[in-house]
Chain A
Amino acid sequence: MTATHEDALLLREVGKSYGDFTAVTDVSLAVRQSEIVCLVGPSGCGKSTLLNIIAGFEKATGGDVLIGGRPITGPGPDRAVVFQQDALFPWLRVFENITAGVRARRVQGYEARAEELLRQVRLEDFRRSYPYQLSGGMRQRASIARALMSDSKVLLMDEPFGALDAQTRGEMQGLLQEIWTAYRPTIVFITHDIEEALVIGDRVVVMGASPGRILETLQVDFPRPRSLELTTRPDFNEMKRRILHLLHPKIYTA
């Protein structure tokens, strides 16, 4: 696989072992500019490890990770992360949380963008609230705004809606698509929810466990904007069936 100028993120034969244990092996993946790639797989398939490697929190034991053609050296604002559980700073108000990064890096004139993002995630009335005063969904919306504030090359989302109830999750999936339409970010999205992956992703990368590896990559061509109604279409269910077979060959082989 060769890097092209279009690839926002490129993984080449990335592997991660802890002693004798291989968590991830031989993962190669090119993510184009403004593409949404969803990684699905059972727990233990190394999808979170992979995301932590891309984010720079963990070091790969093999292969390279390139962002915009350059190898990563550690965590940084060019790769914003939305964590599974809210990793907002509880001692800061919503507005202060969202602008924590730009303030730390002494970026000038961030206020307008912060206001715009607050509106985009519908938290403009909560800018002075503390995280404990927000619901789970609102906190994740603030986390998304904080990540977008960095204006990074890649947005990394680690099961961001996993802890939310079904209805809120559906709303958040809609909101994420609105945000994508507005800013066209490149997104790597981790989930264990197959429907979520198919609703959100342009591509779905199906991963298997022991060792963690890519089983198959599926192109998802449903037109956007996608609503939850998509999940009732026969061709949607056909894709879902294929992924289920990949993930659980023993249980679902008919």
Chain B
Amino acid sequence: MRVIHVEHLTKKFAGVTAVDDLSFTVSPGHVTGFLGPNGSGKSTTMRCMIGLDHAQGGSATFNGVAYSKLTQPLHRVGTLLDAGNAHSGRSARNHLMWLAASTGISKSRVDAVLEQVGLSDVSRRRVGKYSLGMKQRLGIASVLLGDPEVLILDEPVNGLDPEGIRWIRDLLRDLAKEGRTVLVSSHLLSEMALIAEELVVIGQGKLITQCTVAEFTARYAKQWVRVVSPQVQALKTLAAARGATMSEENGAINFYGVTAAELGELGATAGVTFHELSPQTGSLEDAFLDATASSVQYHGAQSEGLAH
């Protein structure tokens, strides 16, 4: 088992709590998504996990061992915190060469990971000439360099084109299938829905929930029943009596607070004909927004407000 345990992790910056008594566990065999609004403490948590930032309290362990106590950590935990963490004046190959040399990894392994991430042809070009997507690939190459059991990646799909996004999706899934532990943060929720099986959701540094993607969606996403019927007015009256609320959408009525079965039975007793009666579930994005609504630190202006 290559489990990550984060227990009661707390990090403050000049009196401001960035990570607040955060605890979660990441298990091997599947990709775990790390979700939270901007400023929620995802990156700080990841930095604390690998000892780059010093936490004021709590701990993060990898199979029970703190990162700072790991022997040859590149072989145990691969981390990508920022694709821009490479000297712009150095070539990609040389960037990986010094990293490899620090733990005695061979040149052939450097060439292998460059091949794996598709940068072989441009490996001698300076990183400063790279696009953001190419830098992401270089960052992923540095993660793979030590063939680690645990991978921690902060926003790895940023800047990647659709082909690159599909590539990293498949790569992370394959790595997880091999039994590795994969923790990925992203604000691209649609992408997370495709990559992750489990989620750790935080807001303002605190854990909101840890569960599977399906459980999260079921728990936080809105559920309603979409109805198209020529006798919809009668159905609305019956549903309202049951405490349901309604909204209209492109000729259909969305019923909230009642199930499709209940609406079907109501319709049957009133002789209502249904052209459509379908249960609906909100997206992961909707669920995420609902779950973190109270913990969003940086709000954008509403469009009405911008108009003034």
A and B interact: no
